[in-house]
Amino acid sequence: MEIKFVSGLADVIAAQTEISSVDGKRGVLRYRGYGIEDLADNSSFEEVCYLLLYGKLPTKAQLNGFKNKLKKEQKLSKPVQDFIKGSPKTSNPMDVLRTAVSIIGVYAKKETLVDSSVRLIAKVPIIITAFGRVIQNKKILQPKPKLSIAGNFLYMLNGKVSKLEEEIFDVCLILHAEHGMNASTFSARVAASTRTDIYSAITAAIATLKGPRHGGANEKVLEMVKEIKTEKNVESYIMKRLKKKVRIMGFGHRVYRIKDPRAYILEERSKELARKTKSNFYDILKKVEKIMEREVGHKGIWPNVDFFSGSVYNSLKIPPKLFTPIFALGRVPGWCAHLLEEYQPANRIMRPKAIYIGPKQRKYIPISKR
Ligand code: SDX
């Protein structure tokens, strides 16, 4: 039965998965059956990584063993360090991250997919913060064994981290860990369906996530808030752009037709931090949300995961250039879980069709006659 062309593969089922479920109508997101709200309130990013990779919540012993494996991988080889230190400070950090992962792949020994996944989950935050220090002309810091991935990220970037900052950033990573067949995960699965290696597939995912329609939106939302400056400018700023059909970053989603459940959780953190840092970013965002609801809510265009995340990261003193790499850092366990699924023998190479709409058959004309 010929399936007709659907722009953007909207609603096309590309895989069967046990990893997460995304209910766009009711705004429900579950990882291996656990609600995202439950995990954000009670779990940790390391525990969620274990859940995504192994399909169940770990016992205390299993979690400690997993954390020890991660800690053993929290260093970068000399080729990767030299590359990061030698990258131009003006480079896009997503290009640096993508290339650093490729270098790790060049030196990778034969290992299980789970071991490669642990290696990537451990190394990606080190790559990002190392480059973060390079662009701030600061010495690269080493991780502290006592800190979590979230805590170490903020410590290695800013030289210090509070318990509250670690807790909030840990929730951000949990919220970004997995989201079904989004573009970057699909990209990774297409690569894995050819049985290429995991580092090539993750490189494809990072390259895909970089795009402003996908992971790149969080940085653009913060740029918008800074351009708006105060609440009283919001109405004219938004209406002008809507009139010109300019997309408002942080809004809209292919699956969610109501507010992204992750946006509610990030909104709370954004409000809490805005109060602590006396920033008006949260108030501006809420005003933008109100106007967008009035103007386009009926079209199913609501805040997505990127709408509040930038204001949270800004309050955590993370440079905007690192916002999209943070999305990648959070998503590594989700990508790896999907690759473990895609490499199952029953999965075939992904090879959709295209409907030819070009010129009808033509005869070759010698160049002298053209
Ligand atoms: C993520 O898929 C995932 O799961 C992704 C993600 C994940 O966790 O992996 O959730 C993360 O990528 C979130 C999305 C972040 N991107 C943005 O915030 C960028 C702005 N959003 C849009 O570019 C857009 O909404 C997309 C890309 C997110 C979804 O695009 P679709 O589903 O292809 O929708 P569309 O482009 O066909 O738009 C449908 C209509 C259009 O209007 P009409 O031409 O029909 O009149 O909605 C309008 C669009 O103009 N529209 C917007 C809008 N997004 C869509 N109008 C204003 N502002 C927007 N942001």
pLDDT in tens, 290-309: 999 999 999 999 999 999 99
**75 alpha carbon to ligand 1 midpoint, in Å?**
37
Structurally, at CATH architecture level, domain 217-315 sits in: Orthogonal Bundle (1.10)
Domain ranges of the chain: 29-213+319-342, 217-315
**Is 306 one of the annotated active-site residues of the chain?**
yes
Task: Answer whether residue 2 shows pLDDT above 80.
Answer: no
Pocket probe for ligand 1: among 182, 185, 213, the residue whose CB has the most ligand atoms within 8 Å is 213
pLDDT of residue 3: 72
Task: Answer whether residue 235 shows pLDDT above 80.
Answer: yes
The CATH code belonging to domain 29-213+319-342 is: 1.10.580.10
Decide if 222 contacts 320 (C-beta within 8 A). yes
Decide if 319 contacts 93 (C-beta within 8 A). no
C-alpha span between 13 and 5 (Å, rounded): 13
Q: What is the pLDDT of residues 311-334, one digit of tens each?
A: 999 999 999 999 999 999 999 999
Q: What is the pLDDT of residues 276-288, one digit of tens each?
A: 999 999 999 999 9
The torsion region of residue 7 among left (phi > 0), alpha (psi -120 to 50) and beta comes to: beta
State the CB neighbour count (10 A cutoff) for residue 239.
Answer: 12
Query: Ligand 1: which residue has its CA nearest to atom 21?
Result: 252
C-alpha span between 274 and 26 (Å, rounded): 29
**145 alpha carbon to ligand 1 midpoint, in Å?**
40
pLDDT of residue 4: 84
Query: Cβ < 6 Å from ligand 1: which residues?
Result: 8, 179, 182, 213-214, 217, 245, 247-254, 296, 299, 301, 304-306
**Is 253 one of the annotated active-site residues of the chain?**
yes
Q: Which of 253, 260, 298, 338 is catalytic?
A: 253
pTM (2 d.p.): 0.96
Pocket probe for ligand 1: among 291, 304, 327, 338, the residue whose CB has the most ligand atoms within 8 Å is 304
